Amino acid sequence: MDAAAQIASLKATLARYDYRYYVLDDPEVPDAEYDRLLRALREWEAAHPELITPDSPTQRVSGTPLKSFGEVAHRVPMLSLDNAFADADVEAFDRRVRERLETDEDIDYHCEPKLDGLAISLTYVDGLLQVGATRGDGVTGEDVTANLRTMRSVPLRLVGDVPRLVEVRGEVFMSDAGFARMNREALARGEKVFVNPRNAAAGSLRQLDPSITATRPLEAFFYGIGAVEGGVLPPTHSGFVAQLRTWGLRTCPETRVARGVAGLLAYYRDIGARRATLGYQIDGVVYKVDAFQRQRELGFVARAPRWAIAHKFPAEEELTQVRDIEWQVGRTGALTPVARLEPVFVGGVTVSNATLHNIDELQRKDVRVGDTVVIRRAGDVIPEVVRVIPERRPDGTEAPALPSACPVCGSAIHRIEGEAVARCTGGYVCLAQRKEAIKHYAGRRAMDVEGLGDKVVDQLVESGLVESPADLYRLTAETLASLERMGEKSATKLAAAIEASKQSTLPRFLFALGIPNVGEATALGLAEHFGDLGPLRSATLDQIQAVPDVGPVVAQSIRSFLDDARQASVVDQLLTLGVRWEPQTLTRGEHLPLTGKTFVCTGTLPTLGRADAEAMIRKAGGKVTGSVSKKTDYVLAGADAGSKLAKAIELGVAVIDEDALKAMISAV
């Protein structure tokens, strides 16, 4: 047998052993035999280096340490999930799903444990691993390909009939046994140990030196799909998970399909009862509508799919003592009482601070300095004080009161009658609000000023160099270089990043302004509705409230912000200093074909998913609502249309099909 054939045979045998060991959990040979074949492969490749390929098991660790991670734009965004904490939340989720699908039948859901690890995305081209990335902000992640290649549960090449390009999603984690073994070995060497498996997994995957990652006991389960090109997938999520296993990707053995709410809750209780014996950390379970077609019909809201939800396990609780109660001032001036605690280990981390939410909650729970309290933490949720243990209260304690002046700037505190939140009226005069406003403006989801971290912002604000976001664009590289721990090279790079952020988009700019009650979804809706900043600034309350999903409270918040002289001045300065964006491709002006028309969508359309149809309507100036009324202009109906179609006929509302909609939009 010649060298090429020998090497190919060894690679195929080792790949089969990896599949049996990591995917099927059914080892075919002892570790010693695997190691013997791997040594043999290394020897053959050393003698014939021209035959080494990227998918060889010997190439899992290669190259030199990185200086930093590159960025990877996800072809399909990696979305977050909404959370359920009680049975009633799951029942409400299922009810919403059935209402949108217009069916009274029980829905099939794919169920899986919610791993407490680090979400990743792997892209394979022609079966070969091309790039691996962390979730990041859901749109852009870090390129950790070199580190993922070191993991034996990440195949370098897929097997079988694989699409030309396929992007799979999964979770990197550390098993309980692997975590314990790693910490034991670290202690024996006199090194620092990790606090919990999740932090250990995240820290291990984000090592700049892949050879360090290779020494860590990382594992992975795969459960999701991103982009696919040149292939056909099964019609269900459960079928796709089975497909992953045939390609050589490891999947969680605890997945199953459940029908209806009863099936979901039964799965939740079963996994919860066996949680401690699984061998890895989970913080809940995930339910996904199983049929891909139904997922497409349900679509998304903001940054989460309507067809999936995470059902969290009850939070972990511990006792500790309140050392002090301080008031933090947020970006919008909101005062939040924070309990400074005697440090306590709960939910996998050491907690020394916990939120008390607002003055009403503080008074309702009657938390005082010196109290012994119950602290709760669930997953990544901010720790909170659940309740006081009154029998352990020391003598002489006093109930804390709302400050009469801002603890940061001394400005008056204002609290609107009926509202729980009290606010500092200082605006940009308040150092705390100024810092948070600048951090928000420069954030990745806003104007995305790379390199403008919290410590740099703190220095800029405290030195008086920046009093509003507009001042960022007055900074020079020379000025930035004068900051502590800021060299000339870093200053030049940051100055360039600030300059680059001038070219943005209207939704990002509106979100960056920090208008109270305006998140990313609302900012996008405002941009699509008005098309540019000018029409929004001159809009009446009624015109703002005409934006989909903007009610009277949000509309008033927007109008008040735009009418504030200080905020208007900052906006004017930003525009004068060169902040700009391309106008929306289509605005909601009078020339749009569907302006002023309200639509309801129902049934399955021939070529468009419901979310696609709704987006098309909105882009053409129309408004989409969820229920049929006398104010509805058109009902877009497809196959298997249900009660909404019947309601339209009863009210005499015009019913159109997909072709008619496309004709209306094209008739400009």
Catalytic machinery residues: 114
In the numeric block, the tokens 């390929």 are attached to: 53
**What's the CA gap between 475 and 466, in Å, rounded?**
9
Q: Closest Cα partner for 30 from 41, 12, 17, 42? A: 17
Q: Closest Cα partner for 656 from 613, 612, 609, 595? A: 613
In the numeric block, the tokens 């309702």 are attached to: 364
**What's the CA gap between 580 and 574, in Å, rounded?**
9
Three-state DSSP string of 570-609? HHHHHHHCCCEECCCCCCCCCCCCCCCCEEEEECECCCCC
**What's the CA gap between 550 and 542, in Å, rounded?**
10
DSSP for residue 22: I
Alpha helices in 421-540 (DSSP H): 431-442, 454-462, 477-481, 488-500, 506-512, 520-530, 533-537
In the numeric block, the tokens 């929004």 are attached to: 536
Q: 454-462 and 431-442 are packed helices; what angle lies between their axes, rounded to 10 degrees?
A: 140
In the numeric block, the tokens 């410590």 are attached to: 455
DSSP for residue 19: I
Give the Cα-Cα-Cα angle 281, 284, 287 (nearest 5 degrees): 130
Q: Which two tokens stand for residue 378?
A: 């669930």
**What's the CA gap between 124 and 433, in Å, rounded?**
46
In the numeric block, the tokens 């099964």 are attached to: 234
Mapping DSSP to helix (H, G, I), strand (E, B) and coil, where does residue 400 land? coil
Q: Which two tokens stand for residue 49?
A: 């280096």
515 in Cβ contact with 499 (< 8 Å) = no
**What's the CA gap between 135 and 143, in Å, rounded?**
10
DSSP for residue 314: P
Q: Closest Cα partner for 292 from 234, 209, 342? A: 234
**What's the CA gap between 279 and 430, in Å, rounded?**
49
**What's the CA gap between 510 and 526, in Å, rounded?**
8
Burial annotation 226-263 (CB, 10 A radius, 16+ → b, else e): bebeeeeeeebbbebbebbeebbbbbbebbebbeebeb
**What's the CA gap between 654 and 648, in Å, rounded?**
7
Pair type for strands 580-581 and 503-504 = parallel
160 in Cβ contact with 246 (< 8 Å) = yes
